[in-house]
Chains A and B, each alone.
Chain A
Amino acid sequence: MLTCLCDAFFGEVGIAAVRMLEHVGCTVEFNNAQTCCGQPPYNAGDWDSARKIADHAKRVFAGSDAPIVCASASCTAMLREGYALLYPGEPHVQAYELSEFLLTKMNVTEWPLLDPAPKVAFHRSCHGRGIHLGDSAERLLQMAGVQLIEFGATDQCCGFGGAFSVTHPKVSGEIGMEKLNRIRESGATEIVSGDMGCLMHLGGLIEKQNLMLRTRHYAELLAEAIPAKEAKLATPAG
């Protein structure tokens, strides 16, 4: 699943995710009829609209029994936990967050090294809590030689919260600034995370305030480490 944010703004993250999966030997399918997992209306309480979108998503992915992989803990949580609430009694959707899939299903234990080794601050998105993600993304980054700068608040909320960011702009912004200040105090100049919602929000604050920080999805770093000729050899299926 591409996710609507990556579809709209962050195509590079989707491309990086495909590269990473092919690097470990997966065949990636992408059904062009996919749109959104339904999380925005679900979070807003409009579960009828959410179900309409979820029904469409289920139909799109029903065509294959390959596991669904998203470069987003938030969309993964929606497919697993959210759909469980929307469709009580139905079996859980087989969806995985990208790093979770690589570590637990593909048993990845090494990754090509990034040279020079980047030093970044890692922001753990809150949706990782719901799906018990733990430190899987951080471990992959460390396999690639990335140094993670400790700033003491990696799993503190960034303040995005979906529509919350728009209905509570001041509170959302203050929460985000508190996180950014902690990161700046640590000396980090790059923030890496697994959720583009978080990075879109933090990035928006950074840009408005002209702060010296850049943001990237962890997949973008890890894909960079994959040797270029390997990327050219990969062919899509379907």
Chain B
Amino acid sequence: MSDRERILSVIGGSTGVALPSPWPGPSLEGALENRFESELKTLGAELVTADRLKELAGASVFADSDVPEPLLRGLVRTEDVWSADLGITLADYGIADTGSLLLTAGPGRNRLASLAPPHHIAVLSRTRILDTAEAAIEVLPSRTAVIVSGPSRTADIEGVIVRGIHGPRRLWVLLTD
């Protein structure tokens, strides 16, 4: 008997316990963009506008190929995601409830671009800010995806929070129309 057969035979069949419907999730009040921004701040991330990108002159940038070209004008681009100072990617959706970003894998999208460099800018259309994680799960495509809530952190040493332990230590969101 294979391991699979042994395991399934011990588990046996069901006695008909019913499945409750999914948990409904909270309903948010107020403008989603305002809530998104304040939650981002709580996480230690912030909004940034396109003109601030000028300050990055000199930094090496790894950008996903679907990031709009005009944003990247004047930046020094590198193809080595491990040595880049900054990764710039699109985010598919924002989640206002927790200041989170949904990033999905796909053509032109490097999974490491939002992870390996010590700084990350996520470009998000303000029309794609959803209210809750429930709404985000509904629009999850059939691709590997990640929900990012703030910069990388650890509290393993005496509970002291340290940012950027492995992933980015700073996260900015650039909202577009």
Direct contact of A and B (CB under 8 A): no
Binding site for B on A (CB under 8 A): none
